[in-house]
Each structure stands twice: as C-alpha cells, then as structure tokens.
Amino acid sequence: MNRDLPTGWTLLKLADVLREPLANGRSLPAREGGFPVLRATALRPVTVDFTQTKGGDETAHNNPPALVEPGDLLVSRVSGSRSLVGEGALVDAPPRTTAFPDTMIRVRVQPSLVAPRYLAHLWNSPVVRRQLEDRARQGGATIYRINHRDLAQTLLPLPALDEQVRIISLVEDHLARIDATTTRTSGAVNQADELVQAMSAQASLGGLSGADRAPGSLPPAGTHDGTLPSLPADWRWTRLESVAEVTLGVTKTSRRRWDPTEVEVPCLRVANVQRGRLALDDIHIIRLPMQRAQAARLRTGDVILAGGGEGGQLGRGWIWEEQVPDCVHQNHVFRARITHQQLHPKLLAWHTNGFGRQWCERNATQVTGLASISLGRIRLMPVPVAPPEEQQRLVSLVDAHLTSLQAASAAAQRAVDVAVRLRSNLLQQAFTGQLSHTAPPFGQQESSL
C-alpha cells in the first residue's frame, strides 16, 4: 500500500480501531419460518440486503444466535473466488432482529475513529481488496478463506472524522451517478439480447415470412410436444433425426496407465455451450485413442447443443466453425450434423435456442436440481423446415439485423466495463486522499457512458 498519505491522515491496522474482538457467526439448523439468518448473498456492495435470509432453529443449541447491530461490518470468511473472499457489507438498519452465520465475521469499530459507512466503502475499495486477496488462503481446490488474524492486520488509511464524512458524501454522489448510468446501459444490453433472441426465434418459425400459415402437426412419437406453432403453408414440421445426424460426445475417464498411442485433444463441455454463442476461453484437454478422436471431431456447420445442466440450459447452443482445431465434445453435449443440406445450421440453432429449449425442459429427466435429456429423446425434437430458397433469404435478412443489434450490444457492454473501472478508480482516489473538494473528477467520463 502507498504510505504517502496527505497531511492529517494516519495508517492504522483494523486491530487498532476495534471496539470489540472480531467474532464469527453461528450456524443454526434450517427451520422453515424460523429465526431469520442472513444468507451469503446478503453481502451486497456497501450495505447488507436483509431480504436475503433463511429460517433457522435458534433453540437447537444452548448458545444464542449471533445477532447483528447497526454499524456492524459483516465480512465473508469463505468463498469459491479469491476476488470475493473477505467482501464486506454494512449493517444499516435491520428491519427485525437477525442473526449472521458462521461463514461471516462481525467487525465492530470505535465510531470515534472510523465512521462505519466510511469503513464499508473503504473495505470494498482496491486499497483494502488487494490486501485481502493477498492474505486469502486456499483451503481446498476451490475454496478461499481468510481468518481473524489476517483481517486484524489490514491497513486502513484514515483521515479525521469530518474528512471521512466529506469523502463519503462525494463518493456516494459519484457512485449514484455511475450506478444509474450502469443500470441504464445494462438495460440496453439486455434489450438488445432479447431482440436478438426474439428475431432469430421468429425467423426459425416462419414469423418473418408473409405467406399464409397452416396449423402445426406431427405424428405422435411418445414425446411431450405441446401445441406446435403454425408455419407458412410451404413449410413442414419434422423430427430432428430426419434432418440431422445427432450424436453424443466422448466420456472423460480416469486412466491409470499412460498409453502413448493416445492423443490430446480439446473437448467442449456444457459450460462452453451458451445460448447463441460458444464460450471458448476455458476448454479442457482430454486424452483419447486416435480413432475415437477422429470420429468425434467437430466439423464446420455442426450445431452444438447442451444436453445436461440446470434448468434453462438444455437445448441451448450454437454452430461450430472450426474455432479450435481438432476439437471434440463431451458426452453431455450433443452434435447435430445436418444431412443432405436439408436445413441451414443457423435456422436449427435459432430454433433450438427458442422453441427447442422449452421442448427439452418438458422432455427432460430431473435429478437433484439438474436436468438431462437422452440422445434418443432429443432426436425426436420437432423442427420446422422451410423451402431452400426461403432458408437462405431468412438467414441473410436476420444476419443483417443481428449484426446491427450485436454491435449496439457490444458498445453498451463496453460502456458497462468503463463504469466498473470508474468505480474502482473513484474508490482508489477517495481512500488515498486524492478526491478533490471541488470539481467531480469523473463527471465528464460519467456523462460519456
């Protein structure tokens, strides 16, 4: 940390400003309608969200539950992310008596030294976050922890109380404007994404064709098809297996022996398959026999579909375009390879992301919160097929509109990213004594978002 602070500022450890020792919360057995206990999701930026509670049984132990009071700072003890462990939120005014769990640490400071609201903003600034992330310990493959001793050593840059109040007034004024702009811009991103999905879904069902429509129908196949949408008179409904070869991917196994004849290949997981796009930043590598790797290799034009995961994930997907050489797909991901050029891959992908996802949910198997659909079942998904010349016209028409919408969405997302950086820079300046008394340092940038 930069120790060159303005005149009148001091650098103190958290231990030096505590009015009570740091305290862990207590776990209470779950009880419907029981004593309110904060969830981990209650630790929002700056203040605690008291709508995020669950019921606990306060009579299950001899010790009473650990209660929060106004002015407390609650800090996360554990997290699956280094960037979130140690995050803190201020208890403003609890609507009712509430406990906090053993996954949180309670911080109570001397109000004559630190204004609680100043501490809450400081705690989530880069000045403190860097210290917490450096001290976080990995307790397992995916868990990060921070303890009392590390928290107590956290260095806090502190001006006089009246200066703390002035800084918080300026910070909250700037943050309110940044947050308002971020909300509007995020809304624009969501609207653009919704328009993309709506237009592509309409195109796949003939909604952009001016022809007369006929009721949709298919012979029963033992599936829950629901009422099929009407299609233009020269379109037809069919089953996915009639227009595409649908296959499962490879199964990842733990091999004890090294086989020099095997090859390493990239492999798509469900996490890589998103709605209307493929997320390829993190692709796993697996070893396979050469022949199996060649048979499972993805080709340009294959439509990749998620076959397992949480609700809403089934059936989503997009088109493979050789983004990663020699890539295969895992067994919870389906590959639909169009046969005899009967259907444009984009029309199939648009259809599966709309109608197809809902159909998959109706026909899925649910086990402990996770859903899956079998290969035999997904092959029976109803699919609309337009005449070849109409398919090409629709793809060209929709692509032109989607390009404009996606460009607008990307611009809005860049503005959201700028707002995140503005927030971080603002907090960095505020708690190193660089926030001006006069002109807002971020006004011009805020207005340009």
DSSP string covering 26-69: ----EEEEEEEEE-GGGB-SEEB-TT-EEEE-TTSSSSPPPBP-
45: burial class by Cβ within 10 Å (0-12, 13-18, 19+)? middle
Instruction: Using alpha carbons, list the distances in angstroms from residue 318 to 162, 277, 333, 392.
Output: 56, 5, 11, 18
What is the Cα–Cα distance from 88 to 72, expressed in whole angstroms?
10
Give the SS3 label for residue 220. Answer: coil
Q: Which amino acid is at 375?
A: L
List b or e across 64-76, with b for residues whose CB sees 16 or more CB atoms inside 10 angstroms.
Answer: ebbbbeebbbbbb
Per-residue pLDDT of the chain (449 residues; tens, 9 = 90+): 545 788 889 999 999 999 999 999 988 888 888 899 999 999 998 999 999 999 988 776 656 788 999 999 999 999 988 888 999 999 998 888 999 999 999 999 999 999 999 999 999 999 999 999 999 988 766 789 999 999 999 999 999 999 999 999 999 999 898 888 888 888 887 887 788 888 888 889 998 877 788 999 999 999 999 999 999 999 999 999 999 999 999 987 665 566 778 899 999 999 999 988 999 999 999 999 999 999 999 999 999 999 987 767 888 999 999 999 999 999 899 999 999 999 999 999 999 999 998 999 899 988 766 888 999 999 999 999 999 999 999 999 988 888 888 788 788 888 888 888 988 899 999 998 887 554 444 444 444 45
Alpha helices in 205-344 (DSSP H): 240-243, 290-296
**Beta bridge mates, 306:** 333
Q: CB–CB of 22/151 below 8 Å?
A: yes
Q: CB–CB of 344/385 below 8 Å?
A: no
What is the Cα–Cα distance from 234 to 388, expressed in whole angstroms?
11
From the list 332, 347, 334, the residue with the least C-alpha distance to 396 is 347
Q: Which amino acid is at 393?
A: R
Joined together, the tokens standing for residue 222 give: 């033992």
Count helices and strands in the chain by DSSP H and E runs: 11, 28
